[in-house]
Amino acid sequence: MKLSGKVALITGAASGIGRETALLFANEGASVVACDIDDRGGAETVTMIEQDGGSALYVHSDVSKAKDCRRMVEQAESEFGALHILFNNAGIMDSRDDNAEVTEEDVWDLTMNINLKGVFLGCKYGIPALKRAGGGSIINTASFVALLGAATPQIAYTASKGGVLSMTRELAVIHARENIRVNALCPGPLRTELLMKFLDSEEKRQRRLIHIPAGRFGEAAEMAKAALFLASDDASYVTGTEFVVDGGITAAYVTPE
């Protein structure tokens, strides 16, 4: 098993990429700390892991709040003795997010507080724990829109994910000599509840699909497998990357300098 003996903290673990990753990490031998504000969904994730013979703990965590991020890391260490993997995955895509002219300030602030500040706070409290464990892996969920503009306007979301990508690069450089790897997972458009609620019409969905060479939305389970690689020793020389898993969309639109 790729993560035998490891402890992994995953935010946004109640659904989507977070849940699929929690299940996969547990199946690969990790003890999982599942964090979310959705208590019912988070508890269901833990139950699914335990029913399959794994070890997991649910912690209610609003990643936009420092006290919650501090507590989730403290509980990981107190329950399982250490923290080796931090997956800052929690995020939102507000249906009111649009172009700069019409997006309201409260939508911008909410998106930044969860998508960007939440990653910062996870790292603020998680990195000392990784140091105490002798090193580890941090995975921050960014997006293909950190590299491209989105076909459907979502200015706050796109800006927040660009910030995640830049922060990931700096963290990777700063902590490389401390045996801490930091990478950004950049999913393409996925068939998850988060995106499907945003792409709430067939017209919006087709505007995304037409740009994807693979011709389909990705699956959360596919992102979990990418996260597993980044979390495991298979990626021991991988840090500071934008790990793009997007069905070819950036290859079709990004021109090399």
- State the catalytic residues: 157
- How many of the other CB atoms lie within 10 Å of CB of 170? 11
Question: What does the DSSP 8-state code read for residue 150?
Answer: -
Query: β-strand 180-187 against 85-88: which pairing, if any?
Result: unpaired
Give the separation between CA 250 and CA 14, rounded to whole angstroms: 28
Closest CA to 24 of 34, 35, 38: 34
